[in-house]
Amino acid sequence: MIYENELIYIEKHDSEIPWVKIFSKKEYKELSECDENTKSALMQAMFECEKLMLEFYKPDKINIASFGNYLPKVHIHVQVRFQNDSYFPESMWGIKQREATLKLPEFEEFSVKLAYKMQEILG
């Protein structure tokens, strides 16, 4: 767990790329079903994750997704993408393009910065 408050929580997704998932605490199937405070917290967290990932990792692209087909609960994926990652330009759920060995800053350092930022803006 990277961050948690009464509305949302953020956790790491194990992957070769830096990838976090932001969940609503209350059970909602669709984003439009969320109450206004939860929607606001999800969006703030998503944008702050994206900004911090851009600053910290200097990626080629950030991918943001919310499907919920396998896990029918509101959650948002925020992924750091590099042209030389194993799947690029495919999605991380797509067809592997190559074997990649990325040399990236430690995720732990990023997660500490993210937790601090979330605490600062969402309490």
Question: Which domains can be identified in the chain, with CATH numbers?
Answer: 3-122 (3.30.428.10)
- AA identity, residue 5: N
**DSSP bridge partners of 63:** 79
DSSP H helices in the chain:
36-57, 107-122
Residue 42: pLDDT band (50, 70, 90) is: very high
CB 64 within 8 A of CB 80: no
Closest CA to 19 of 42, 53, 70, 56: 53
pTM summary value: 0.94
> Is 90 exceeded by the pLDDT of residue 68?
no
* 85 HSE (CA, 13 A, CB side): 24
The DSSP call for residue 16 is S
- Residue type at position 27: E
Reported as a pLDDT band with limits 50, 70 and 90, residue 71 is confident
Instruction: Give me the sign of the Cα torsion angle 81, 87, 91, 93.
Output: negative
